[in-house]
Structure 1
Protein backbone atom coordinates (compact mmCIF):
# COMPACT_ATOMS: atom_id res chain seq x y z
CA UNK A 1 0.00 0.00 0.00
CA UNK A 2 2.82 2.41 0.85
CA UNK A 3 4.47 1.69 -2.50
CA UNK A 4 1.21 2.46 -4.29
CA UNK A 5 0.88 5.79 -2.52
CA UNK A 6 4.46 6.70 -3.42
CA UNK A 7 3.94 5.68 -7.06
CA UNK A 8 0.70 7.65 -7.22
CA UNK A 9 2.38 10.72 -5.78
CA UNK A 10 5.27 10.41 -8.23
CA UNK A 11 2.88 10.08 -11.18
CA UNK A 12 0.88 13.07 -9.95
CA UNK A 13 4.01 15.20 -9.72
CA UNK A 14 5.09 14.15 -13.21
CA UNK A 15 1.69 14.86 -14.79
CA UNK A 16 1.41 18.18 -12.95
CA UNK A 17 4.84 19.19 -14.22
CA UNK A 18 3.90 18.26 -17.79
CA UNK A 19 0.68 20.29 -17.66
CA UNK A 20 2.49 23.27 -16.16
CA UNK A 21 5.18 23.04 -18.81
CA UNK A 22 2.58 23.00 -21.59
CA UNK A 23 0.60 25.94 -20.20
CA UNK A 24 3.88 27.83 -19.73
CA UNK A 25 4.77 27.18 -23.37
CA UNK A 26 1.46 28.68 -24.47
CA UNK A 27 1.98 31.70 -22.19
CA UNK A 28 5.47 32.20 -23.63
CA UNK A 29 4.11 32.12 -27.17
CA UNK A 30 1.56 34.78 -26.26
CA UNK A 31 4.29 37.01 -24.81
CA UNK A 32 6.31 36.58 -28.00
CA UNK A 33 3.34 37.39 -30.22
CA UNK A 34 2.52 40.44 -28.10
CA UNK A 35 6.13 41.63 -28.46
CA UNK A 36 5.88 41.18 -32.23
CA UNK A 37 2.61 43.07 -32.21
CA UNK A 38 4.24 45.97 -30.34
CA UNK A 39 6.96 46.21 -33.00
CA UNK A 40 4.66 45.64 -35.98
CA UNK A 41 1.03 46.53 -35.15
CA UNK A 42 -0.19 45.67 -38.66
CA UNK A 43 0.95 42.06 -38.20
CA UNK A 44 -2.04 41.19 -35.99
CA UNK A 45 -5.50 41.36 -37.55
CA UNK A 46 -8.64 42.04 -35.51
CA UNK A 47 -9.52 38.35 -35.60
CA UNK A 48 -6.05 37.37 -34.39
CA UNK A 49 -6.31 39.99 -31.63
CA UNK A 50 -9.58 38.49 -30.41
CA UNK A 51 -8.00 35.04 -30.45
CA UNK A 52 -4.96 36.25 -28.52
CA UNK A 53 -7.17 37.97 -25.95
CA UNK A 54 -9.27 34.81 -25.54
CA UNK A 55 -6.14 32.68 -25.17
CA UNK A 56 -4.72 35.06 -22.55
CA UNK A 57 -7.97 34.88 -20.61
CA UNK A 58 -8.03 31.08 -20.79
CA UNK A 59 -4.48 30.89 -19.43
CA UNK A 60 -5.25 33.41 -16.69
CA UNK A 61 -8.32 31.39 -15.64
CA UNK A 62 -6.64 27.98 -15.97
CA UNK A 63 -6.86 26.04 -12.67
CA UNK A 64 -3.10 25.43 -12.51
CA UNK A 65 -2.98 25.53 -8.71
CA UNK A 66 -6.09 23.41 -8.23
CA UNK A 67 -5.11 19.89 -9.37
CA UNK A 68 -8.37 18.41 -8.08
CA UNK A 69 -10.48 20.65 -10.30
CA UNK A 70 -12.60 18.30 -12.39
CA UNK A 71 -12.64 20.65 -15.37
CA UNK A 72 -8.83 20.87 -15.59
CA UNK A 73 -8.52 18.42 -18.48
CA UNK A 74 -11.47 19.94 -20.35
CA UNK A 75 -9.92 23.38 -19.94
CA UNK A 76 -6.59 22.06 -21.20
CA UNK A 77 -8.25 20.63 -24.32
CA UNK A 78 -9.98 23.95 -25.01
CA UNK A 79 -6.68 25.76 -24.45
CA UNK A 80 -4.95 23.48 -26.96
CA UNK A 81 -7.67 24.08 -29.53
CA UNK A 82 -7.57 27.86 -29.12
CA UNK A 83 -3.77 27.82 -29.33
CA UNK A 84 -3.90 25.93 -32.62
CA UNK A 85 -6.27 28.53 -34.08
CA UNK A 86 -4.12 31.47 -32.96
CA UNK A 87 -0.86 29.80 -34.01
CA UNK A 88 -2.22 29.07 -37.47
CA UNK A 89 -3.08 32.77 -37.81
CA UNK A 90 0.58 33.57 -37.20
CA UNK A 91 1.73 30.73 -39.46
CA UNK A 92 3.49 29.00 -36.56
CA UNK A 93 3.82 25.45 -35.30
CA UNK A 94 0.38 24.42 -34.09
CA UNK A 95 1.30 21.62 -31.68
CA UNK A 96 3.18 21.48 -28.43
CA UNK A 97 5.85 18.78 -28.32
CA UNK A 98 7.81 18.51 -25.09
CA UNK A 99 11.57 18.24 -25.41
CA UNK A 100 11.64 14.69 -24.01
CA UNK A 101 9.22 13.39 -26.66
CA UNK A 102 11.29 14.93 -29.45
CA UNK A 103 14.50 13.39 -28.14
CA UNK A 104 12.89 9.97 -27.75
CA UNK A 105 11.96 9.88 -31.43
CA UNK A 106 15.50 10.51 -32.63
CA UNK A 107 17.53 7.49 -33.67
CA UNK A 108 21.20 7.36 -34.57
Structure 2
Protein backbone atom coordinates (compact mmCIF):
# COMPACT_ATOMS: atom_id res chain seq x y z
CA UNK A 1 0.00 0.00 0.00
CA UNK A 2 2.79 2.41 0.86
CA UNK A 3 4.70 1.43 -2.29
CA UNK A 4 1.85 2.78 -4.45
CA UNK A 5 2.00 6.11 -2.63
CA UNK A 6 5.78 6.34 -2.74
CA UNK A 7 6.01 5.30 -6.41
CA UNK A 8 3.23 7.66 -7.58
CA UNK A 9 5.76 10.42 -8.22
CA UNK A 10 7.84 8.22 -10.51
CA UNK A 11 4.77 6.89 -12.32
CA UNK A 12 3.37 10.37 -13.02
CA UNK A 13 6.79 11.61 -14.07
CA UNK A 14 7.13 8.75 -16.58
CA UNK A 15 3.59 9.21 -17.94
CA UNK A 16 4.05 12.97 -18.23
CA UNK A 17 7.34 12.55 -20.03
CA UNK A 18 5.81 10.09 -22.51
CA UNK A 19 2.80 12.33 -23.22
CA UNK A 20 5.04 15.37 -23.66
CA UNK A 21 7.38 13.49 -25.97
CA UNK A 22 4.54 12.29 -28.21
CA UNK A 23 2.94 15.75 -28.35
CA UNK A 24 6.27 17.43 -29.08
CA UNK A 25 7.10 14.94 -31.83
CA UNK A 26 3.74 15.51 -33.49
CA UNK A 27 3.99 19.30 -33.33
CA UNK A 28 7.62 19.16 -34.45
CA UNK A 29 6.70 17.27 -37.61
CA UNK A 30 3.95 19.76 -38.45
CA UNK A 31 6.19 22.75 -37.79
CA UNK A 32 9.05 21.18 -39.77
CA UNK A 33 6.82 20.62 -42.80
CA UNK A 34 5.59 24.22 -42.69
CA UNK A 35 9.13 25.55 -42.38
CA UNK A 36 10.38 23.36 -45.22
CA UNK A 37 7.50 24.31 -47.49
CA UNK A 38 8.00 28.02 -46.89
CA UNK A 39 11.76 28.03 -47.42
CA UNK A 40 11.54 25.64 -50.35
CA UNK A 41 9.06 27.99 -52.03
CA UNK A 42 11.41 30.93 -51.42
CA UNK A 43 14.32 29.13 -53.05
CA UNK A 44 12.11 27.96 -55.91
CA UNK A 45 10.89 31.50 -56.55
CA UNK A 46 14.42 32.84 -56.52
CA UNK A 47 15.69 30.19 -58.95
CA UNK A 48 12.63 30.70 -61.15
CA UNK A 49 13.28 34.43 -61.39
CA UNK A 50 16.92 33.78 -62.27
CA UNK A 51 15.86 31.32 -64.95
CA UNK A 52 13.34 33.75 -66.43
CA UNK A 53 15.96 36.48 -66.63
CA UNK A 54 18.49 34.10 -68.17
CA UNK A 55 16.15 32.84 -70.88
CA UNK A 56 15.00 36.37 -71.75
CA UNK A 57 18.59 37.63 -71.98
CA UNK A 58 19.63 34.63 -74.05
CA UNK A 59 16.93 35.52 -76.59
CA UNK A 60 18.13 39.13 -76.66
CA UNK A 61 21.81 38.23 -77.02
CA UNK A 62 21.32 35.32 -79.41
CA UNK A 63 21.71 37.35 -82.60
CA UNK A 64 24.71 39.40 -81.46
CA UNK A 65 28.15 38.57 -82.81
CA UNK A 66 30.44 41.04 -81.03
CA UNK A 67 33.26 39.85 -78.79
CA UNK A 68 31.70 41.53 -75.75
CA UNK A 69 28.41 39.77 -76.38
CA UNK A 70 30.13 36.41 -76.81
CA UNK A 71 31.62 36.73 -73.30
CA UNK A 72 28.19 37.63 -71.96
CA UNK A 73 26.74 34.64 -73.79
CA UNK A 74 29.35 32.27 -72.27
CA UNK A 75 28.57 33.47 -68.75
CA UNK A 76 24.85 33.28 -69.50
CA UNK A 77 25.09 29.70 -70.79
CA UNK A 78 27.14 28.72 -67.73
CA UNK A 79 24.47 30.33 -65.52
CA UNK A 80 21.67 28.47 -67.29
CA UNK A 81 23.60 25.21 -66.93
CA UNK A 82 23.97 25.75 -63.19
CA UNK A 83 20.25 26.41 -62.85
CA UNK A 84 19.33 23.32 -64.85
CA UNK A 85 21.63 21.12 -62.73
CA UNK A 86 20.16 22.45 -59.47
CA UNK A 87 18.61 19.52 -57.51
CA UNK A 88 14.98 20.69 -57.23
CA UNK A 89 13.59 17.26 -56.34
CA UNK A 90 16.15 16.26 -53.71
CA UNK A 91 15.61 18.06 -50.38
CA UNK A 92 18.31 15.94 -48.74
CA UNK A 93 21.04 17.11 -51.14
CA UNK A 94 23.91 18.05 -48.82
CA UNK A 95 25.43 20.76 -51.03
CA UNK A 96 22.17 22.59 -51.75
CA UNK A 97 23.23 25.83 -50.08
CA UNK A 98 26.70 25.73 -51.65
CA UNK A 99 25.18 25.33 -55.12
CA UNK A 100 22.67 28.09 -54.39
CA UNK A 101 25.51 30.40 -53.34
CA UNK A 102 27.36 29.62 -56.59
CA UNK A 103 24.24 30.42 -58.60
CA UNK A 104 23.85 33.71 -56.73
CA UNK A 105 27.50 34.56 -57.41
CA UNK A 106 27.13 33.76 -61.11
CA UNK A 107 23.97 35.89 -61.17
CA UNK A 108 25.89 38.84 -59.73
CA UNK A 109 28.61 38.33 -62.33
CA UNK A 110 26.02 38.22 -65.10
CA UNK A 111 24.29 41.36 -63.83
CA UNK A 112 27.64 43.13 -63.77
CA UNK A 113 28.37 42.12 -67.37
CA UNK A 114 24.87 43.14 -68.47
CA UNK A 115 25.12 46.38 -66.49
CA UNK A 116 21.84 45.84 -64.60
CA UNK A 117 21.01 46.41 -60.94
CA UNK A 118 18.77 43.55 -59.79
CA UNK A 119 16.16 43.88 -57.05
CA UNK A 120 14.79 40.50 -55.97
CA UNK A 121 11.82 40.69 -53.58
CA UNK A 122 9.65 38.03 -51.98
CA UNK A 123 6.32 39.11 -50.54
CA UNK A 124 2.92 37.61 -49.74
CA UNK A 125 1.75 38.33 -53.30
CA UNK A 126 4.67 36.40 -54.79
CA UNK A 127 8.23 36.98 -55.81
CA UNK A 128 9.60 39.28 -58.44
CA UNK A 129 12.89 40.33 -59.92
CA UNK A 130 13.22 43.82 -61.29
CA UNK A 131 16.13 45.77 -62.70
Distance 1:31 1:48 in 2: 13
**1:26 corresponding residue in structure 2:** 50
**1:99 corresponding residue in structure 2:** 122
- TM-score, length-scaled by structure 1: 0.82
Q: Runs in 1 of length 4+ with deviation above 4 angstroms?
A: none
Distance 2:100 2:47 in 1: 8
Distance 1:13 1:89 in 2: 34
SS at match of 1:63: coil
Query: Which structure's relative contact order is higher, taking Cα pairs within 8 Å and 6+ residues apart?
Result: 1
How many residue pairs match? The answer is 99
The CA deviation at 1:42 is 4.7
SS at match of 1:70: coil
Distance 2:46 2:122 in 1: 11
Structure number with the higher strand fraction is: 2
State the Cα RMSD in Å.
Answer: 1.8
Q: Deviations over 1:51-72 (max 9, x none)?
A: 0111011011001111110011
Gaps of 5+ in 2: 1-24, 125-131
Gaps of 5+ in 1: 102-108
